[in-house]
Structure 1
Amino acid sequence: LEQLADEVVTLVQSYVDDDEDERFYCCDWGVLEDEDGSSLLAVAGEQRQVKAINCRTGEVHSVLQGHGAAIHEIRFHPTRPSLLLSGSADESVRLWHVLTRECVAVFAGALGHRDAILSLDIRLDGAVFASCGTDGCIKVWSLRSNGLERCIKAATPADGDRPPPSAQPAPAMHSTVQPYYEHFPLFSEASIHHDKKTGVSSYVDCVRWVGNCVLSRGSDGRAVLWEPPNMGVEYGSSVDPDPDPDAVESRTTAAPAREGVATIVAEYVIRSAAGIWFLRFSMDPQRRLFALGNTRGEASVWEVDRLPPKVLASVTLPGAPPTVRHTAISRDARHLVCCCDDASVFVWTLPASSANK
């Protein structure tokens, strides 16, 4: 969509999937590492596939297939554009090489999630990622082990040997890469959205990194900014030493998740947002603002750095307002987009103070 000077929004490009049963649940923007630097739009959902669409040609560049259930979140790696993470209802996170359509790694198993994964996010330096889901847990995983690096290298095509784009999944029996299996997260947290009085753990349906802190939203109607304990993977750190330097395929006997206590930095109570899940917040590229909707057709913008928490701006949809399921903040922080249950999309102009901050 493109917003013209007279505030008219026009359709620039669209993609309609050939599978009538497909229902897309998530998308993310990436860049194709070629001479043109074409934009890629990755989409995924009910049919268990990730499709990367070349926005210059309008054609499917690659299809990533391997999950056993619906895919709820996908994220391109912030420093390695050819890598993409996907989180699924099959309780696993997979790391893909978009150019070769190879599954590079699987994060699941012994101390992994015990129910559907709803959201994930990669820290901006690319060293770790966080995942969360309906089991009420938030887990932090390393992306810098030697075994994983070897698998990424094996999946990376040599110069001039890049496979052509294809709208079909890579043949499973012809894969040349054995995925790296990681069973042990660096850290696991289950108390952030757990009600001690009732003993009920809420679904955690959205997670994003803010520096070394994590911002998560649960079906308890709260968004919480918290800091994990020292995990030994700081910004700009080198590849972690493997406990077994010869282990390439998997790490199943490594030490379990590090012990420690998460430190809560701030809590944001969102009215009319409890008891419902798959209610996603968004952040601006600088991770200074986040926006979240509710079941009353309202959305609020918060400034993450401000303590105690204070709403920077709020909007209310006209008419009989539907639930605001997802939001998006423009790169210049001047516009807020609200996506609703009834398939309506609203674009709001934020106060000038939001863009300045």
Structure 2
Amino acid sequence: MPSNLKRRSSESSSSNMENASDFSQPSTPKQIKTEHDSQELSKEERQERVFSNMRLRRIVKENHGSDINQLAFFFNNKNFSAPYGIDQSKTFDKRGAVQRDQSDTSNVLVTVGGAQINVYDNEHCGDHLDIMSHFNLAIESEEGSPPNKLLHSACWLHRPEDALIAVGGADMKIHILSLANSQELAILSGHSKTITDIQAYPQDDTHILSTSKDGTVRLWDVTTEKCLAIYDADATVSIFHPSGETFITAGPKGDFREWQVPNWGELSGEPQQFDKKSSRLLKKMHNDSQIDCIRYVNGNLLSKSINGRMEYWDPATETSIRSFRVKTGENFSRFDVSLNESFFCVGSSSGAIYVFNLHTGKQIAELQHRRSTKAVRCCVFTRDCRSVICAGEDAFIWRYDYIDDETLKEWANLQQKSSD
């Protein structure tokens, strides 16, 4: 194992795991309907009921004390197919642990914060966030001063019998980590400033795209450990088109550019260079505000600026489909989209999570607890959309779970008795 990569036990990598089932109580019994009523609703309405019935159930504090900048489940959609959302049903063994197909890795969650990469099992161990593996990239240099290893982004790559994590940040390098072997397999060097975003190629598990403050975006072949192309893009984040033929970059001044992905057969030798003339400049959908997250959804783009404005738009025609003004405050935060591409969640500067229906524009839920007051930097849906997990300042992870109507009724009755 390389000297700059260490694996530690769960005791050293995280602390303060708490059962928060008694933290949140429904505000009024009038909000509660029976399960029989829910059967009369459409699938989308039943999913909305799930979000509105979520309560805080778990809190984890990682020991690095820094912001957690990204969360990512290993859904492995290119190699695994199964129901999701309310169509997914779980079976449990006698101990109450979730039974799942061996190729289903959707319970595996990675967090990126400080100089650490922590991997959690979100289901097997009694439906907890349980630490599986831990990597620490921070070591002291020969001079005795620790290098800046603050990490900003990561993505998953599937391998037979393994899962790789590509992670990057302030040290300007992309670290390729093996989860199965708990070791660093490669380091991809080339950027001259902080790496802010890493995206996996949608058509295979070999290529990734990295965005840096050095004004370039780089296309890499992870297997050969080579940089294939360098794009002159002043960007903060990027996203591949689902076809893999193009990608979009978004910058600190609200600009969007569309770039072509070259044919792999044409790339050999030195990295191919692409200047801005090679791109298509798109309309500024957020004026001059910095873009901190973009995703392709239903063939369109969903983009967010740090002032809380979100735009759902068609990049081909550059027309807006729907605008969202979310009460996030001035906050750098990655949003997430459900696997059925109907809902998104986004965090605020004051610890709240907002869930929206992308098609109707309706806010479905506001998830917050009195103890959650710091900025949310990222949030994700589980595969079954029965949990929303968020993280951010001070290394806290918060998990909100669906609570069935019967349990909510019991809580409401207890609340009523205690107030009498």
Q: Scaled by the length of structure 2, what TM-score is found?
A: 0.62
Are residues 52 and 221 of structure 1, via their aligned partners in 2, closer, same or farther at CA, if it must alter by over 3 Å?
same
Contact 1:62 1:99 survives alignment (8 Å) = no
- Partner of 2:132: helix, strand, or coil? coil
Give 1:1-357 correspondences, 5 Å limit.
1-4=120-123, 6-19=126-139, 20=146, 21-32=148-159, 36-108=160-232, 112-113=233-234, 117-143=235-261, 145-146=262-263, 149-151=265-267, 154=268, 177-183=269-275, 184-194=277-287, 201-229=288-316, 262-273=318-329, 275-276=330-331, 278-304=332-358, 306-307=359-360, 309-319=361-371, 321-350=373-402
- Partner of 2:134: helix, strand, or coil? coil
- Partner of 1:342: helix, strand, or coil? helix
- Tell me the percent identity: 22
Residue 24 of structure 1 deviates from its aligned partner by 0.6
Partner of 1:174: none
How far apart are the structure 2 equivalents of 1:181 and 1:347? 43
Letter in 2 for 1:150: E
Residue 25 of structure 1 deviates from its aligned partner by 0.5
Residue 317 of structure 1 deviates from its aligned partner by 3.0
Letter in 1 for 2:343: L
- Deviations 1:176-218 (Å, cap 9, x if unpaired)? x211112235422252111xxxxxx111111111133111101
Are residues 320 and 225 of structure 1, via their aligned partners in 2, closer, same or farther at CA, if it must alter by over 3 Å?
closer
Letter in 2 for 1:279: S
| Runs of 5+ consecutive residues of structure 2 not aligned to the other structure | 1-119, 140-145, 405-420
Are residues 6 and 48 of structure 1, via their aligned partners in 2, closer, same or farther at CA, if it must alter by over 3 Å?
same
RMSD over aligned Cα atoms: 2.1
- Partner of 1:318: helix, strand, or coil? coil
How far apart are the structure 1 equivalents of 2:230 and 2:221? 12
Partner of 2:417: none
- Partner of 2:266: helix, strand, or coil? helix
Residue 92 of structure 1 deviates from its aligned partner by 0.8
How far apart are the structure 2 equivalents of 1:129 and 1:287? 19
Letter in 2 for 1:302: F
Residue 27 of structure 1 deviates from its aligned partner by 0.9
Contact 2:353 2:368 survives alignment (8 Å) = yes
Stretches (4+) displaced over 3 A: 3-8
How far apart are the structure 1 equivalents of 2:278 and 2:387? 37
Q: Scaled by the length of structure 1, what TM-score is found?
A: 0.73
Choose 291-300 or 279-288, whichever is displaced more: 279-288
- Deviations 1:21-78 (Å, cap 9, x if unpaired)? 301111111113xxx3411111110000111111110111111110010000001111
Contact 2:164 2:176 survives alignment (8 Å) = yes
The structure carrying a bigger helix percent of its residues is: 2
Partner of 1:168: none
How far apart are the structure 2 equivalents of 1:48 and 1:225? 32
Partner of 1:258: none
Are residues 211 and 50 of structure 1, via their aligned partners in 2, closer, same or farther at CA, if it must alter by over 3 Å?
same
Partner of 1:246: none
| Runs of 5+ consecutive residues of structure 1 not aligned to the other structure | 155-176, 195-200, 230-260, 353-357
- Partner of 1:125: helix, strand, or coil? coil
Residue 142 of structure 1 deviates from its aligned partner by 1.3
The number of residue pairs the alignment matches comes to 277
How far apart are the structure 2 equivalents of 1:351 and 1:138? 40
Contact 1:227 1:264 survives alignment (8 Å) = yes
The structure with the largest alpha-carbon Rg is: 2
- Partner of 1:12: helix, strand, or coil? strand
How far apart are the structure 2 equivalents of 1:188 and 1:332? 37
Are residues 222 and 57 of structure 1, via their aligned partners in 2, closer, same or farther at CA, if it must alter by over 3 Å?
same
Partner of 2:27: none
The structure whose RCO (Cα within 8 Å, separation 6+) is larger is 2
Residue 334 of structure 1 deviates from its aligned partner by 1.9
Letter in 2 for 1:66: G
How far apart are the structure 1 equivalents of 2:364 and 2:246? 30
Contact 1:313 1:351 survives alignment (8 Å) = no
